[in-house]
Amino acid sequence: MTQSALDLVIAALERIREKSDHEPRASRTALARLQAADLVTVSVVTTAALSDCLSPTARHLQAAGNKADLLAAVRERVGACTRCAHLACSRTQTVFGVGNPNADLMFIGEAPGADEDQQGEPFVGRAGQLLTRILKAMNFAREDVYIANILKCRPDVPAGSFGNRPPTPAEMQTCRPYLVEQIEIIQPTVLVALGAVAVEGLLGTRATMRELRGRWHIYNSIPLMITYHPAYLLRNQAPSEKRKVWEDMLQVLERLDRPISERQRNYFL
Ligand code: SF4
């Protein structure tokens, strides 16, 4: 870095500190990238410093753009990944994630099924359609939130057999770093883990849904709500189970400071 560029960055950071009650901050993603690169380039630091001088709207747009670029880079690596040789052979394609890179709300499932493997998008089968209905009841479109799985490849099943199998702990452990990167980039306000397998993949915690759901957990300082996987609701159509998921989603809406109508409060999925 030349002295003049360094002076520019320091001057910009000083101005921010003078104008604000808070110290200038770097995101965890930015820190991770700097640590990984072990190198501070003029352009990265200058861009980061100058972005703090932009209006909130411009900053929001710039962050969204950067997040999309960062996610695209991870998506490219996932698309070429062969860490699980057996899954790399059996998959039709990887299933990275879908939605708003700047989402406040991020859903995490366990792994792609046959429909997702074919279409390359998470939660597009029957369970996914139910998730879309849940989102609609929350006044969200799929495009408003971000949806991803622990595993980016469909767990293989014997040739000629139907259905899906859950991912193994070893498979989840291998693929987890990609999800961690997605969360680091998106930095959602609230995370929702769908089902006990997703929780095991994310937190390494094995417990029953009875023990896990309906209350707040924390993942890397981000509030995490755990609820049933939509596939469970397709298997168990009892109104009491549907209501439990909806009550979990009401807690999510409250945490996001979203308005909740009387109709929503009384809603049954
Ligand atoms: S499951 Fe994840 S780690 Fe394994 S091959 Fe697919 S993308 Fe790579």
Q: How far is the CA of 176 from the centre of ligand 1 (A)?
A: 9
CATH architecture of 84-265: 3-Layer(aba) Sandwich (3.40)
Element (H, E) at 108: strand 105-109
Task: From 243, 225, 228, select the one nearest 110 (Cα to Cα).
Answer: 228
131 HSE (CA, 13 A, CB side): 27
pTM for the model stands at 0.78
Counting ligand 1 atoms within 8 A of each CB, the residue from 76, 78, 116, 156 with the most, and so the one to mutate, is 78
Check pocket membership of 209 for ligand 1, CB cut-off 6 A. Answer: no
User: What pLDDT sits at residue 122?
Assistant: 98
38 HSE (CA, 13 A, CB side): 0
Q: How far is the CA of 120 from the centre of ligand 1 (A)?
A: 14
Region(s) of the chain under CATH 3.40.470.10: 84-265
Q: How far is the CA of 117 from the centre of ligand 1 (A)?
A: 13
Distance CA 122, CA 112 (A): 6
Indicate the range of 7-11, 61-65, 94-98, 144-148 predicted with least confidence.
Answer: 7-11
Q: How far is the CA of 121 from the centre of ligand 1 (A)?
A: 15
Distance CA 151, CA 81 (A): 12
Task: Render pLDDT for 202-217 as a digit per residue (tens, 0 to 9).
Answer: 999 999 999 999 999 9
User: What pLDDT sits at residue 219?
Assistant: 98
Percent of the chain with pLDDT over 70: 75
User: What pLDDT sits at residue 18?
Assistant: 57
